[in-house]
């Protein structure tokens, strides 16, 4: 039996694997985030390990468009030859890499190092740009540091009130709900979502409440809540004076957002806005006087917008007004989505970062990492370009001609998917590392089979900044190899400076040295301690005392208790602004996840019971909206805009607003929701506008 963690979301639920002749069995393990519980995705994860569609040998595209097996030597020689020739003709930035928030810390680290040293390219980014970038940008500018939850998840267990904006944890990470049981019983769960989601229904069941704003007006709603807190003198003035800067600018920015005006823009009644602000303030005051803590949590629903960073900032500002961050009275946090969404953004996959959350443009940061790598800092390229810009540049004049994709499926997951599909086909050479023939892998010139989660060693960092061990429990099939091995082999062929180990523990030791002294400092983390189950949260600098005793929290489980990470030790209140009028509304499309599926669906659509439960894209639409468009329940509908058309089967639901429809983003082909999404990006984080697109609806005639 092997104790490890679920391969899916950032809860990283504890599981136990036991190989058997009849197939590997999986059960929940008593770990803090899940307490032994698992969602249906987690319970069925072992079925992917012996799946008949599993890739187990390199596959090279032939002249007729088919794939044929290739040897590893031939495949890796070809990758190195293509990289060399393209660099010689067009420069190092003509070769690009695209990573993932699902990779282990070691693979994310090695990927960034390989791009900069073996390829010499600045053209690297990852799919976390589609997930956590706005939350990271907002937290960095407010606090000077980004960790999804700056406190242990278990702290939510005793909360008196939680304001949850844009997250449907009841469907996306069901074991999370156990941490909401107490706050639900206390009537303190407030959910903000344009859908009456499963999580919103939980709030109502527990005597909490649901705010259902017009899509893309979360920023205005947060400004309205802050207005009430300030106008009614509900803010914690002592905390604000001692621990923040920027209050006066915030006063000016929210002055115009009185509840009645906010209501006209958001559709949330003025009295509900007042009630929410007053309840939060009262609960925060009680928490400061020995009561139970209060939290504001955000998720992708309010972050995946072209103003996502400002919206996150507005949520943080509200938490600061209430005096919560950096105290035991509560705080602000963002709910990380991908399995290693936290660790994946700390170790150098992002185009502007080096390991330890260091800035690639900072000379001192470059010098430190170069020393750890054993190279001259002058050979490390400067900042690259973020994901949407990178993908759109593929195959264009002056853009990358070769791309290596690791753990991502941008044909399904990137915005304006038609454009991404065309971009991939413009490339001279596309290499995809995956364990299934995903929709992106199907477009590749070369597919390299890699290990799944239960076949590899490494570490992950979950949504609360806790470092966890991923353990190999079963043998890899056929010729599948670790990406660490692939990158080390390619580095040898490319005569890369520095060393590239294929051993995860060795790579982790180098990662520690590279991160030492950085914001995300892992230098005091011992592989053996993590292996024994020690609860270790970064930052954990060298010399930290580590205990493996149950219940002991090592490193920094709770951030900011003494100071924020800015030089003056204070949090920055950043005034943000929003338009008071919105464009004329048609039908707004919002996208998201289903209980049965995960991300692009490349894994979960291959599990029979999950595919049977949700076999195709379903369009959630209010019955009155459906009637106005002559759409019947179960009828197929064309959902279209200037970017494309998606076909989905109508699912009539009074949980939707009249002006809003919902599509899941897990499905391929004509069911791809991202054929419709807007590629506009946030100016700070480069997050695409995933959560709001104007669409038209047309029933497909002859179908009921």
CA–CA separation, 306 vs 310, rounded Å?
9
CATH number (3.90.25.10, 3.30.465.10, 2.60.120.560, 2.40.40.20) of 587-699 reads 2.40.40.20
What is the average pLDDT across 211-232? 97
Length of the chain in residues, anyone? 704
Query: Judging by DSSP bridges, how do beta strands 693-699 and 636-641 pair with one another?
Result: antiparallel
HSE (side-chain half, CA atoms, 13 Å) at 307: 16
Encode pLDDT of 563-619 as tens digits. Answer: 999 999 999 999 999 998 766 668 999 999 999 999 999 999 999 999 999 999 999
Token pair, residue 248, equals: 């006066």
Token pair, residue 53, equals: 């569609």
Query: Judging by DSSP bridges, how do beta strands 660-664 and 618-621 pair with one another?
Result: antiparallel
C-beta of residue 657 within 8 angstroms of C-beta of residue 590: no
pLDDT band at 23 (very low <50, low <70, confident <90, very high): confident
Phi-psi region of 620 (alpha: psi -120 to 50; beta: other; left: phi over 0): beta
Give the residue among 368, 402, 366, 403 at the shortest CA–CA distance from 383.
366
Locate tokens 């490349």: which residue? Answer: 602
What is the average pLDDT across 408-417? 94
CB-neighbour burial class of residue 550 (10 A; exposed 0-12, middle 13-18, buried 19+): exposed
C-beta of residue 315 within 8 angstroms of C-beta of residue 298: yes
What is the average pLDDT across 489-513? 98
Domain boundaries, given as residue ranges, for the chain: 2-48, 62-125+340-544, 149-335, 587-699
C-beta of residue 267 within 8 angstroms of C-beta of residue 217: yes
Q: What percent of the chain has pLDDT over 90?
A: 95
The pTM of the full predicted model, rounded to 2 decimals, is 0.96
pLDDT, position 381 = 98
Q: What is the DSSP string of 478-491?
A: TT-B-HHHHHHHHH
CB-neighbour burial class of residue 34 (10 A; exposed 0-12, middle 13-18, buried 19+): buried
pLDDT, position 584 = 66
Q: What percent of the chain has pLDDT over 70?
A: 99
pLDDT, position 493 = 98
Reported as type and span, the H/E element at residue 423 is helix 417-426
Task: State the architecture of 62-125+340-544 in CATH terms.
Answer: 3-Layer(aba) Sandwich (3.40)
List of residues 6+ apart from 664 with CB closer than 8 A: 591, 592, 593, 594, 597, 614, 617, 618, 673
Predicted confidence (pLDDT) at residue 704 exceeds the cutoff of 80: no
CA–CA separation, 704 vs 698, rounded Å?
13
Q: Is 45 helix (H, G, I), strand (E, B) or coil?
A: helix
Q: Which CATH class is domain 2-48?
A: mainly beta
What is the average pLDDT across 46-72? 96
Predicted confidence (pLDDT) at residue 103 exceeds the cutoff of 70: yes
Locate tokens 């019947």: which residue? Answer: 632
Helix ranges, 186-322 (H):
198-205, 218-231, 237-243, 247-254, 259-266, 270-288, 300-303, 308-321
Predicted confidence (pLDDT) at residue 15 exceeds the cutoff of 70: yes
CA–CA separation, 667 vs 412, rounded Å?
7
Locate tokens 């001609």: which residue? Answer: 401
What is the average pLDDT across 657-680? 95
What are residue 540's phi and psi, to 5 degrees?
-135, 85
Strand arrangement of the beta sheet that strand 330-334 belongs to: 209-211, 189-192, 161-165, 294-298, 330-334
CB-neighbour burial class of residue 64 (10 A; exposed 0-12, middle 13-18, buried 19+): exposed
pLDDT band at 535 (very low <50, low <70, confident <90, very high): very high
Locate tokens 């890699």: which residue? Answer: 450
Is omega for the bond preceding 539 within 30 degrees of 0, making it cis?
A: yes
DSSP E strands, 429-583: 429-434, 446-449, 458-461, 467-470, 535-537, 553-555, 571-572
pLDDT band at 703 (very low <50, low <70, confident <90, very high): low
H, E, C per residue of 109-139: HHHHHHHHHHHCCCCEEEHHHHCCHHHHHHH
What is the average pLDDT across 356-376? 97
**Which carries the bigger pLDDT value, residue 21 or residue 248?**
248
Predicted confidence (pLDDT) at residue 666 exceeds the cutoff of 70: yes
pLDDT, position 583 = 61
Encode pLDDT of 121-158 as tens digits. Answer: 999 999 999 988 999 999 999 999 999 999 999 999 99
pLDDT, position 71 = 98
Chain-wide mean pLDDT for the chain? 96
CA–CA separation, 328 vs 334, rounded Å?
17
94-99-102 Cα angle (round to 5): 175
CA–CA separation, 382 vs 366, rounded Å?
9
pLDDT band at 674 (very low <50, low <70, confident <90, very high): very high
pLDDT, position 426 = 97
CA–CA separation, 187 vs 283, rounded Å?
12
Give the residue among 619, 662, 664 at the shortest CA–CA distance from 638.
619
Task: State the architecture of 149-335 in CATH terms.
Answer: 3-Layer(aba) Sandwich (3.40)
Predicted confidence (pLDDT) at residue 542 exceeds the cutoff of 80: yes
pLDDT, position 593 = 94
List of residues 6+ apart from 237 with CB closer than 8 A: none
What are residue 284's phi and psi, to 5 degrees?
-65, -40
C-beta of residue 266 within 8 angstroms of C-beta of residue 581: no
Encode pLDDT of 633-648 as tens digits. Answer: 999 999 999 999 999 9
């Amino acid at each position: 039996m092997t104790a490890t963690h679920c391969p899916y979301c950032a809860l990283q639920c504890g599981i136990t694997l036991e190989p058997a002749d009849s197939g590997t069995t999986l059960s929940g393990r008593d770990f803090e985030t899940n307490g032994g519980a698992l969602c249906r995705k987690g319970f069925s994860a072992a079925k992917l390990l012996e799946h008949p569609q599993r890739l187990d040998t390199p596959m090279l595209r032939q002249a007729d468009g088919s794939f044929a097996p290739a040897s590893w030597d031939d495949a890796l020689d070809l990758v190195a030859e293509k990289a060399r020739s393209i660099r010689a003709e067009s420069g190092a930035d003509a070769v690009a890499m695209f990573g993932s928030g699902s990779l282990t810390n070691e693979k994310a680290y090695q990927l960034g190092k390989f791009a900069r040293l073996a390829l010499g390219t600045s053209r690297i980014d990852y799919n976390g740009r589609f997930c956590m970038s706005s939350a990271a940008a907002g937290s960095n500018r407010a606090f000077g540091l980004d960790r999804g939850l700056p406190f242990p998840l278990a702290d939510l267990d005793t909360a008196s009130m939680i304001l949850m904006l844009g997250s449907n944890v009841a469907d996306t990470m069901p074991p999370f709900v156990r941490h909401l049981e107490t706050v639900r019983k206390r009537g303190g769960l407030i959910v903000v979502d344009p859908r009456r989601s499963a999580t919103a229904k939980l709030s109502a069941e527990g005597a909490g409440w649901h705010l259902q704003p017009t899509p893309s007006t979360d920023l205005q709603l947060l400004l309205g809540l802050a207005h009430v807190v300030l106008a009614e003198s509900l803010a914690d003035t002592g905390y604000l004076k001692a621990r923040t800067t920027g209050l006066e600018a915030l006063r000016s920015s929210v002055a115009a957002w009185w509840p009645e005006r906010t209501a006209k823009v958001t559709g949330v009644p003025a009295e509900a806005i007042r009630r929410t602000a007053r309840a939060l303030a009262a609960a925060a005051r009680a928490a400061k006087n020995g009561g139970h803590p209060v939290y504001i949590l955000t998720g992708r629903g309010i972050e995946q917008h072209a103003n996502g960073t400002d919206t996150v900032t507005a949520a943080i500002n509200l938490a600061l007004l209430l005096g919560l961050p950096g105290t035991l009275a509560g705080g602000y946090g963002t709910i990380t989505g991908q399995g290693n969404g936290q660790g994946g953004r700390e170790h150098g996959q992002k185009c502007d970062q080096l390991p330890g959350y260091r800035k690639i443009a900072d000379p001192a940061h470059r010098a430190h990492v170069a020393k750890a790598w054993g190279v001259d800092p002058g050979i490390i390229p400067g900042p690259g370009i973020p994901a949407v810009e990178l993908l759109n540049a593929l195959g264009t004049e002056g853009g990358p001609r070769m791309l290596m994709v690791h753990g991502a499926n941008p044909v399904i997951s990137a915005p304006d998917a038609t454009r991404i599909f065309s971009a991939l086909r413009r490339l001279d050479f596309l290499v995809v590392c995956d364990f299934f023939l995903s929709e992106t892998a199907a477009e590749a010139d070369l597919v390299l089979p890699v290990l799944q989660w239960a076949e590899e060693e490494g570490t992950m960092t979950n949504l609360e900044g806790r470092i966890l061990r991923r353990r190999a429990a079963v043998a890899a099939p056929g010729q599948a190899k670790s990406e660490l091995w692939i990158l080390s082999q390619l580095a040898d062929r490319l005569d890369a400076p520095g060393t590239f180990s294929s051993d995860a523990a060795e790579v982790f030791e180098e990662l520690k040295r590279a991160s030492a002294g950085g914001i995300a400092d892992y230098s005091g983390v011992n592989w053996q301690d993590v292996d024994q189950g020690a609860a270790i949260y970064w930052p954990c600098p060298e010399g930290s005392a580590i205990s493996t005793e149950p219940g002991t929290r090592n490193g920094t489980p709770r951030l900011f208790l003494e100071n924020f990470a800015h030089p003056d030790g204070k949090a920055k209140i950043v005034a943000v602004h929003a338009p008071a009028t919105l464009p004329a509304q048609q039908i707004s499309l919002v996208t998201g996840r289903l209980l049965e599926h995960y991300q692009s669906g490349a894994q979960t659509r291959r599990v029979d019971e999950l595919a049977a439960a949700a076999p195709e894209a379903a369009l959630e639409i209010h019955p009155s909206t459906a009637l106005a468009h002559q759409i019947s329940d179960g009828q197929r509908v064309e959902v279209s805009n200037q970017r494309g058309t998606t076909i989905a089967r109508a699912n009539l639901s009074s949980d939707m607003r009249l002006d809003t429809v919902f599509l899941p983003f897990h499905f391929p082909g004509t069911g791809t929701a991202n054929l419709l999404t807007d590629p506009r990006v946030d100016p700070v984080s480069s997050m695409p506008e995933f959560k709001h697109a104007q669409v038209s609806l047309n029933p497909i005639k002859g179908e009921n």
